[in-house]
């Protein structure tokens, strides 16, 4: 029987009405209490966050950035390369000749230097960077976080992934980074880049993961890089090879390139994702290098 029918029936009988009045009163009291509890819950859920709570959250976030920087910067290095590049030149043999000047071509070699970044993945001095950072270099030197500069040599390359492994000789264990899992990264999560843009070592920039699985063409379209992480953390010339990190301090990407009509950062940068496949390839290259020694 419906509630509406039951109440109507009680009202038709004075005797029944007297008997049911306490039950109806109890029901009204319970309904009021239940309504109050629901209203209080809704008010608590949707009321504005107290103003004093916002600074606490910002302080926690700032502490996270500081912790990542303090943890990882000692393992990030600045890479300097030098190479001799041939330049075609010419001089006049007979500038006043009747048939016009004759030009004798010759080749002149010029020293070209470039900067990049990298990070230490083994305490015995194994460093990971981009292959394009050290491509064609005759000499490679690495500057550590304590401003010590030491020579480095290439021990392995993953050309398809634009990755290279360097080795420096050291008599002490060096600080290293942890390799994370880019597959678990979500779009919108925080990202921290550390490197040497324009030679400014240990520069820390912050942004988010803007997108995943990006495709980028290099070498005028001759080479295609896939599955890249996109970030708006500032990346400039010299950041290539440096780490892109999550707030746990794990490397989720290796900074590789930017999209920019002007050549400077406009908030569109790309990093090679660090995942299970990348880590397996790195370990294989390191083991192969050790077997050759």
What are residue 107's DSSP bridge partners?
88
Mean pLDDT, rounded, for 144-171: 94
Is 199's pLDDT higher than 60? yes
CA dist 64 and 247 (Å) reads 6
13 is catalytic: no
- DSSP assignment string, 25-49: HHHHHHHHHHHHHHHHHHHHHHSPP
Give residues with Cβ within 8 angstroms of 118, minimum separation 6.
76, 77, 79, 127, 128, 129, 133, 142, 166, 241, 242
pLDDT tens for each residue of 239-279: 999 999 999 999 999 999 998 887 788 999 999 999 999 99
Per annotation, catalytic residue among 114, 117, 162, 250: 162
Per annotation, catalytic residue among 132, 196, 210, 232: 132
CA dist 157 and 129 (Å) reads 10
Which pLDDT score, from 0 to 100, does residue 4 have? 36
Which pLDDT score, from 0 to 100, does residue 87 have? 76
pLDDT tens for each residue of 74-87: 999 999 999 877 77
Instruction: Give the residue from 85, 139, 134, 88 showing the smallest Cα distance to 112.
Output: 85
Per annotation, catalytic residue among 117, 196, 210, 240: 240
Which pLDDT score, from 0 to 100, does residue 41 have? 60
Which pLDDT score, from 0 to 100, does residue 90 have? 64
Largest CA distance in the chain: 137
132 is catalytic: yes
Cβ atoms of 107 and 36 within 8 Å: the answer is no
Query: Could you tell me the pTM of the whole model?
Result: 0.74
CA dist 276 and 270 (Å) reads 19
HSE at residue 226, side-chain half, CA atoms within 13 A, is: 1
Please report, for residues 72, 124, 143, 198, 267, the alpha-carbon distance to residue 147 in angstroms, rounded to integers and kept in the order given.
16, 18, 6, 16, 29
Which pLDDT score, from 0 to 100, does residue 144 have? 96
Please report, for residues 86, 160, 224, 274, the alpha-carbon distance to residue 132 in angstroms, rounded to integers and kept in the order given.
19, 11, 14, 18
Q: What are the two backbone dihedrals, phi and then psi, of residue 119, each rounded to the nearest 5 degrees?
A: -150, 150
Is 154's pLDDT higher than 50? yes
| pLDDT class of 18 with cuts at 50, 70, 90 | very low
- Domains of the chain and any CATH numbers: 73-167 (2.40.10.10), 178-284 (2.40.10.10)
pLDDT, averaged across the chain: 82
């Amino acid at each position: 029987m419906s509630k509406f029918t039951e109440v109507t029936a009680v009202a038709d009988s004075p005797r029944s009405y007297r008997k049911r009045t306490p039950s109806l009163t109890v029901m009204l009291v319970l309904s009021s209490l239940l309504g109050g509890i629901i209203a209080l819950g809704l008010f608590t859920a949707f009321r504005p966050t107290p103003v004093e709570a916002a600074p606490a959250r910002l302080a926690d976030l700032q502490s996270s950035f500081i912790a990542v920087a303090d943890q990882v910067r000692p393992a990030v290095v600045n890479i300097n390369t030098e190479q001799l590049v041939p330049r075609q030149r010419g001089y006049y043999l007979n500038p006043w000749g009747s048939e016009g000047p004759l030009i004798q071509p010759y080749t002149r070699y010029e020293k070209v230097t470039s900067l990049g970044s990298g990070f230490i993945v083994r305490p015995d001095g194994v460093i990971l960077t981009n292959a394009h950072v050290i491509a064609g270099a005759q000499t490679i030197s690495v500057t550590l976080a304590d401003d010590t500069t030491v020579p480095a040599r290439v021990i392995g390359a993953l050309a398809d992934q634009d990755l290279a492994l360097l080795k420096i000789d050291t008599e002490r264990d060096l600080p290293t980074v942890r390799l994370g899992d880019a597959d678990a990264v979500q779009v919108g999560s925080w990202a921290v880049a550390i490197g040497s843009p324009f030679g400014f070592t240990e520069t820390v920039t912050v942004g988010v993961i803007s997108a995943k699985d990006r495709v980028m063409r290099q070498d005028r379209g001759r080479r295609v890089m896939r599955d890249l992480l996109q970030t708006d953390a500032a990346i400039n010339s010299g950041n290539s090879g440096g780490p892109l990190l999550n707030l746990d301090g794990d490397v989720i990407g290796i900074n590789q390139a930017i999209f920019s009509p002007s050549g400077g950062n406009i908030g569109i940068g790309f990093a090679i994702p660090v995942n299970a496949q990348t880590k397996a390839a790195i370990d294989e290259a390191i083991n192969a290098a050790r077997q050759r020694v």
